[in-house]
Structures are given as structure tokens and as C-alpha cells.
Amino acid sequence: MAIARLRKVSLGAMLAGRCPRCHKGPIFQPMTRAPLTMNQTCAVCGLTFEREPGYFLGAMYFSYTFGVILVVPVALVLAVVFNLSLVAVLLIALVQTLLTMVMAFRYSRILWLYLDQVIDPR
């Protein structure tokens, strides 16, 4: 049953930040206007994106994973290959985290919505 729903997941719609049900309506406001603001419902099919308070708590695991995948390899290369000091590596990691934070936030919530739609479609 879940396998059939998994086949309906559109990677292109996921990467574009579109609704997990209809693959057309945007999940977030445009990056230029409000990068961290989610739409409450899909403008096309009416899917409510946040079911209840605390719904996106599980998305933190995706966000943490994105942070580790993006920051740790760069920090290791800077420390091991370029032999930079710990302070320099930490400062670069902090700047890198701040630069990628918005995208990690958005895509962790998008992945959470898609995972939830596969497990418990509405």
C-alpha cells in the first residue's frame, strides 16, 4: 500500500517545493519575499500543510542531517587537508551554516510533508 503511494512521489515537485498531494501548489512563499514563511494550505487542492501545533518537530531530524552533510565534510577538509586552526574551521562552519540555514529549513519541512503524505495520506 505504501509502496504504491511512494510511486506517486514526484522528485521534481519535491525539489520545486510543490504540494505533496497535487504537485502543483507552492508550499512556501517565494524566496525573495518571505523565505521562511509557509503557506497554510495548498492553493490548488486545499491540503493543510500543518496538521497540528508541533507537527514539524520531526522535520528537525532532516534539518540536522542536512547540516551535518553540508558542514562536516567541509570542516574536515579544512582541518585535515589545509591544516587550519580550530577557530578558523569553526568560524567557516558557522558562516556556512548561516548561509545554508534557509534552504535546510525549507527542504526539511518539504521532506517531512512528503514522508507524511506517503505514510498517512489525507
Cα dihedral 20, 62, 97, 29 in deg (nearest 10): 20
pLDDT at position 7 = 63
Map grid coordinates 489525507 to a residue. Answer: 122
What digits encode the pLDDT tens for the residues 56-66? 999 999 999 99
Mean pLDDT for the chain?
92
Q: Rounded to two decimals, what is the model's pTM?
A: 0.86
Per-residue confidence (pLDDT) for residue 74, from 0 to 100: 96
Q: Is the dihedral of CA 13, 32, 74, 82 positive or negative?
A: positive
DSSP string, 6-63: HHT--HHHHHHTB-TTTS-SBSB--TTT-TTPBPSB-TTT--BS--STTGGGGHHHHH
Q: What are the sequence ranges of the domains in the chain?
A: 2-119
What is the per-residue pLDDT across 76-93, written as a single tens digit (0 to 9) for each? 999 999 999 999 999 999
Buried b (16+ CB within 10 A) or exposed e, 98-119: eeeeeebbbbbbbbbbbbbbbe
Dihedral (CA of 11, 16, 22, 27) sign: positive
**For position 85, what pLDDT does the model report?**
96
Closest CA to 116 of 72, 51, 53, 30: 51
108 or 32: which leads in pLDDT: 108
16-71 pLDDT, tens digit per residue, is: 999 999 999 999 999 888 999 999 999 999 999 998 999 999 999 999 999 999 99
